[in-house]
Structure 1
Amino acid sequence: MTSPTSPTTHVRAFDTTAFPEPTLVPVNGVQLEVFEAGRENVGKPIVLCHGWPELAFSWRHQVPALVAAGYHVIVPHQRGYGGSSRPPEVTAYDIEHLTGDLVALLDHYGYEDATFVGHDWGAMVVWSLALLHPQRVERLIALSLPYQERGERPWIEAMEAVLGGDFYFVHVNRQPGVADAVLDEHTARFLRNLYRKNEPPRAPQPGMALIDLAMAEEPLGEPLMSERELAVFVSAFESTGFTSSINWYRNLDRDWHLLADVDPIVRQPALMIYGERDMVARSQRLTEFVPDVDVVSLDCGHWIQQEKPEEVNRVIVDWLDRRDATSQS
């Protein structure tokens, strides 16, 4: 389906400096650091799943808006991030573990299903959750990363054949520890250079873009967030390092195998939000795999919910309201 035009739901601006206090929740053999708000809105759970290298704090603009719209908002630091567990085994970050954490989180709160929202890597987890545990997903919303077709070759193997060994997805798999060490040494500079908006147009770089960003003296574009907000991310990754979160990438070929026998069609209602200047490729066959999908494009780059928070809030709340109205009619 094409995108709905002007959303009509009004979502007021909120104080984005406030964020819920965390709770450690035991799930699936690990502990997740979980931030929740709107517990009084029992029966309307919505789970927000961050990407890489992000945090639950990436959803700071959405939490109050969704609470005001009547939702019980649950925002985990997924395994490998923040105060959540960081298992040492690489395979502990495969898609079965990541989706299993979310299922166990629903069990903890006593919900049969929920609306799931994911950005970047979080979108990959949410798409996979809809395939592996379809009964636990009522609706899903993806930002930036569309549904990924499984294809005939494992994902890293296919990327290496086309983009070469220096492409960062391939590099972190074939040379474990190299990128991790550079990012750990230059955490503040890397995140300062990564979290930008209004960057000048440029072609995708085939080389090791993460290391290049960590070493660049002058970032492109404008800061995405205030120094105070950026400090939250810098402090968290200086504490945890990057290896546990990069281990998500190191499971992509394993994930490809784990999804081999799964029905590839997402049958739940879905909303796909693209950034028009995002370097992540759009799906040309999205409706073949996600037949009940609405698509919206916003004038922004990759960090969609942080770059265009009011627009994202309006789009999400309006879509949820319309879906509720449709299901009740």
Structure 2
Amino acid sequence: MNLPTNSSNFPEPTLIAVNGVELEVFEAGRQNAGKLVVLCHGWPDLAFTWRYQVPALVAAGYHVIAPNQRGYGGSSRPDEVAAYDVAHLAGDLVALLDHYGYEDAIFIGHDWGAMVVWSLTLLHPTRVNKVICLSLPYQVRGETPWIEFMEAVLGSDFYFVHFNRQPGVADAVLDENPERFLRNLYRKNEPRQEPRPGMVMIDLARAETALGEPLLNDSDLGVYVAAFEKSRFTGGINWYRNLDRGWHLLADVDPIIHQPALMIYGDRDAVAPAENLAEFVPNVEEIHLDSGHWIQQEKPEETNRAILEWLARYDAIRPGLAGGGARLGW
């Protein structure tokens, strides 16, 4: 498989006004209209994270869009923290479907993008045809708001908690030297470490050296650095600052994901697999790859194969639901 290795292979962006913001959207495979896949990145990431998946999906017959979601890249960065809750993030994706003329689509999310895809599927189930998530499994809504629970179990230095309890502190540290933070964060083959005191993201941002091997070549790292030197980190961190708001917003929805779903784990990822995923996602298939957290970048061929084989297998079983992306009147 010929995999692109630099930014010159990625589509050019278009700014699209949706849901009260402008989103920078990268589109490919318009000739495959009718079978839409929407790719949702995590934190601190970009649509560019899907550079290995876009050509493979287009070659397999899919129309693909990958937005820089609100807070990232050249997309809008609202000032209000509440503008980054899951209702707004899901609303952006629904508005993109409307813009491109689709009733529904296949959604693929990694990390925080997976959280958005799971939430979108709960909030707007008729707009989601199939779900594919990487790294982050479905998060069960327990009796205690998520940040409150994490603070009790993992302490005030856990970065989810720190982002919420000390607003602006981590943002400023990460903004000081985006290149160093991103270079230290995007690693592979990292040795396992015991948890240490302190706030891990601040420590990474200040570390002179990093563990493991660099994941990104200089060209690809340059794409990330340029984007975050412009956008800074607060918009993306504000997603974390809405976790408890999201917990409340999801209080009255059906907690079961009824759509067919594929969950891809990295066996060396710090994010733990779900022990009871099938209870809440009954139509799920789970796959494990020998990877760290950045699954689709670290293991692009294996990721593409897993996604395309699952889609093809499901299409063969239920051809009537093959592509997703039923068109609206054009």
**Which range, TM-score by smaller chain?**
over 0.9
Name the residue aligned to 1:201: 192
Name the residue aligned to 1:183: 174
1:40 aligned counterpart, secondary structure? helix
Moved more, 202-211 or 16-25: 202-211
1:116 aligned counterpart, secondary structure? strand
Moved more, 241-250 or 202-211: 202-211
- Where does 1:119-268 land on structure 2 (aligned, <5 Å)? 119-205=110-196, 207-268=198-259
TM-score by length of 1: 0.95
Give me the whole-angstrom Cα distance separating, in 2, the residues matched to 1:256 and 1:28: 22
| 2:263 maps to 1:272 | yes
| Percent pairwise identity | 73
Match of 2:63 among 61, 72, 94: 72
Name the residue aligned to 2:275: 284
Give me the whole-angstrom Cα distance separating, in 2, the residues matched to 1:81 and 1:20: 17
Name the residue aligned to 1:297: 288
TM-score by length of 2: 0.95
Structure 1 unaligned blocks of 5 or more: 1-11
AA at the equivalent of 2:5: T
Summarize deviations over 1:183-238 as a string: whole Å, max 9, x none: 00021111000000000111344531000001111100001010110010011001
Name the residue aligned to 2:4: 15
Name the residue aligned to 2:312: 321
| 2:70 maps to 1:101 | no
1:247 aligned counterpart, secondary structure? helix
Give me the whole-angstrom Cα distance separating, in 2, the residues matched to 1:15 and 1:228: 12
Contact 2:4–2:51 (8 Å) recurs in 1: no
Name the residue aligned to 2:32: 41
Shift of 1:15: 2.7
| 2:297 maps to 1:312 | no
- RMSD of aligned alpha carbons: 0.9
Shift of 1:166: 1.0
Give me the whole-angstrom Cα distance separating, in 2, the residues matched to 1:239 and 1:205: 31
Give me the whole-angstrom Cα distance separating, in 2, the residues matched to 1:289 and 1:217: 43
Alignment length, in residue pairs?
A: 318
2:292 aligned counterpart, secondary structure? coil
Give me the whole-angstrom Cα distance separating, in 2, the residues matched to 1:130 and 1:204: 33
Shift of 1:325: 1.0
1:166 aligned counterpart, secondary structure? coil
Give me the whole-angstrom Cα distance separating, in 2, the residues matched to 1:256 and 1:181: 27
Contact 1:160–1:170 (8 Å) recurs in 2: yes
